[in-house]
Structure 1
Amino acid sequence: MPSTSPASHHGLATLYREQHSWLQRWLRCRLGCSHSAADLAQDVFVRLLAKTELIEVQAPRSFLATVAQSVLSNHYRRQKLEKAYLQALATLPEAVIPDLETQAILLETLLELNAVLERLEMPVRKAFLWSQLDGLSHGEIAERLQVSIATVKRYIIKAGAQCILLDGGWS
């Protein structure tokens, strides 16, 4: 992995110094929470720090708002998934509820799987989810997607392979 040049770190440090307070206020207006705004503002700059190419910014606030929109979108998606997960846990009998550490591991895995599925093309994602969650046959999926059964099989294999690659595979 190529390292970021000191010049880009310098530019990012300047951007941080000059725009961090503005970005945090911008996020606070959207979130209604200063703590979450502070966390997400940091996430924006961490995301920029992770970039390996040089970032040239002509309009810093517009640029930061665009990056922040993506970070906000991820934040809301994570919240929605976490809420659904917690609701599902609440429906379980107390005897089978996993311990807190296992719950945290399961939630992280669920979030990672969601991220993998979000990157798949829509027909691939639909075929995989219909197969795995709804138990539809390959024929039913092919009919819904208006593709061949062979294509459905390729879609499911592709999605499954991406899920397995998530963490080097599950043992």
Structure 2
Amino acid sequence: MPSPAFAPETRDRIAGLYRDHHLWLLTWLQRRHHFGDQASDVAQDTFLHAILRPQQIAGLRQPRAWLSSVARGLLIDRYRRQKLEAAYLRALAQLPEAEAPSAERQLMLLETLMQIDASLDGLAPKVRMAFLLSRLEGLSYQEIAARQGVSLSSVEKYMSKAIRHCYQLSLEP
């Protein structure tokens, strides 16, 4: 990936943010989240976020609050990805060997699952689960209502929200 061209003041702002706060962020991640070797990766990803979105750091008054917020979001994303990958690997392990997809197909399926997960980010847990039960497991709204312990009209509202959310995502450039 070619490095983006920045105005000198933007480049200086990003370099200053890194110089002044990288060690602090790394220490914060190691102490607060006990991630050890992952802490440096998350710290680097946090600063990559700053590089890719320089407009967000233009007027930062509390850079450490912003950095910790971005890092926390990245940690949540990593945790969700790990949980999703573990669930996927458990499901694969239950397949008879003859039906198991190739390694290439497994990677493609996992990437698709990650995209679906990212697309559904921001939905309430019950809305998200209703959508997944409907679309991935093929359950009827009545079956989803029984499984979630909610009314049929609640499931209909959940599905409406989820479908609207997905439609709005499809309109984004």
**With structure 1 as the length reference, what TM-score do the two structures score?**
0.74
Q: 1:160 to 1:95 in 2, by over 3 A?
A: farther
Q: Cα distance, 1:19 vs. partner?
A: 1.4
SS of the equivalent of 2:72 reads helix
In structure 2, distance between residues paired with 1:93 and 1:121: 35
For residues 61 and 123 of structure 1, what CA distance do their matches in structure 2 show? 33
Q: Does 1:96 align with 2:102?
A: no
Determine which of 7, 10, 22 is the counterpart of 1:8. 10
Give a deviation string over 1:48-100, Cα, whole Å, max 9, x none.
22225242233332321121111111111111111111111111111222222
Aligned to 2:89: 86
- Equivalents in 2 of 1:146, 1:23: separation in Å? 47
CA 159–68 in structure 1, closer or farther in 2 if over 3 Å, else same: closer
The corresponding residue for 1:20 is 22
Aligned mates of 1:118, 1:132 — CA distance in 2: 16
How much identity, in percent, do the aligned residues show? 41
Deviations 1:9-64 (A, max 9, x none): 32111111221122122222313322x11111111011122225242233332321
Q: Give the conservation status (yes or no) of the 8 Å contact 2:22–2:43.
A: yes
The SS at the match of 2:153 is: coil
Q: Does 1:158 align with 2:160?
A: no
Structure 1: segments with no counterpart, 5+ residues: none
Distance (Å, rounded) in 1 between the aligned partners of 2:91 and 2:30: 30
| Conserved 8 A contact 2:141-2:152 | no
TM-score for the superposition, normalised by structure 2: 0.73
Where does structure 2 lack aligned partners over 5 or more consecutive residues?
none
Aligned residues of 1:128 and 1:159 also touching (Cα < 8 A): no
Aligned equivalent of 1:137, options 140, 152, 156 = 140
1:108 maps onto 2:131 in alignment: no
For residues 89 and 149 of structure 1, the distance between their equivalents in structure 2, rounded to whole angstroms, comes to 29
Amino acid corresponding to residue 99 of structure 2 in structure 1: V
1:147 partner SS: helix
Q: Distance in 2 between matches of 1:22 and 1:68?
A: 12
SS of residue matched to 2:139: coil
Aligned partners of 2:159 and 2:63: how far apart in 1? 46
Match of 1:75 in 2: 78
Number of residue pairs aligned between Structure 1 and Structure 2: 163
RMSD: 3.3
Q: Distance in 1 between matches of 2:63 and 2:162?
A: 42
